[in-house]
């Protein structure tokens, strides 16, 4: 088993990102999974899990009491306030990969969904776009999303990775 990514924290990686979470679990020293209902996938992967209700005022109290090398986080609007506390769990020199929908490219939106990171960590923002099909466009598949985040993990010096097509309006 590869352990190249060290101790990894995945937030919201049980649905559309489950393929990436499974991939990362094989390449990490340990994986901790935080989501609304992480138990089934965590049991399958043999990893630690924390169920979390983003909107609960005491949600921050369940955060793991340890440090991580890599954080992958896909937070819903009602959980955006947890972005910084999750990044505060990273070791100095750690890496945060934040996942957003295509609207995050709009003027002023990204600042609202991505607070400034600590100066001692590196952040990559992944923007989910769409795929052009003939005269229409479709949303990304779960596999395309997972593959795009895996690409972002493998390219640590890119600040932004757009999966599919997206543009600021």
Q: How many domains does the chain have?
A: 1
Q: What is the per-residue pLDDT across 109-122, written as a single tens digit (0 to 9) for each?
A: 555 567 777 899 99
The pTM (predicted TM-score) of the whole model is 0.91
Q: What is the DSSP letter of 100?
A: E
Is residue 115 included in any domain, yes or no? yes
Q: What is the per-residue pLDDT across 124-163, written as a single tens digit (0 to 9) for each?
A: 989 998 888 888 888 899 999 999 999 999 999 999 899 9
For the record, the structure tokens of 30 come out as 């340990």
Is residue 169 included in any domain, yes or no? no
Question: The domain containing residue 51 runs over which residues?
Answer: 7-163
Select from 104, 124, 122 the least CA-distant residue to 113: 104
Is residue 1 included in any domain, yes or no? no
For the record, the structure tokens of 152 come out as 């972002």
Is residue 2 included in any domain, yes or no? no
Is residue 168 included in any domain, yes or no? no
Which CATH number does the domain housing residue 18 bear?
3.40.50.720
């Amino acid at each position: 088993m590869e352990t190249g990514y060290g101790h990894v924290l995945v937030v919201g990686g049980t649905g559309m990102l489950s393929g990436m979470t499974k991939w990362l679990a094989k390449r990490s020293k340990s994986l901790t999974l935080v989501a609304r209902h992480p138990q089934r996938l965590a049991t399958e992967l043999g990893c630690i899990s924390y169920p979390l209700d983003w909107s609960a005022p005491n949600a921050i109290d369940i955060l793991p009491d340890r440090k991580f090398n890599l954080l992958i986080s896909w937070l819903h609007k009602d959980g955006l306030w947890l972005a910084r506390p999750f990044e505060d769990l990273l070791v100095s020199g750690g890496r945060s990969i934040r996942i957003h929908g295509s609207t995050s490219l709009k003027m002023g939106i990204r600042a609202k969904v991505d607070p400034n990171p600590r100066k001692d960590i590196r952040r990559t923002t992944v923007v989910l776009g769409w795929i052009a099909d003939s005269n229409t466009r479709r949303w990304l598949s779960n596999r395309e999303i997972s593959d795009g985040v895996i690409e972002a993990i493998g390219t640590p010096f890119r600040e932004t990775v757009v999966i599919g097509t997206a543009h600021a309006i």
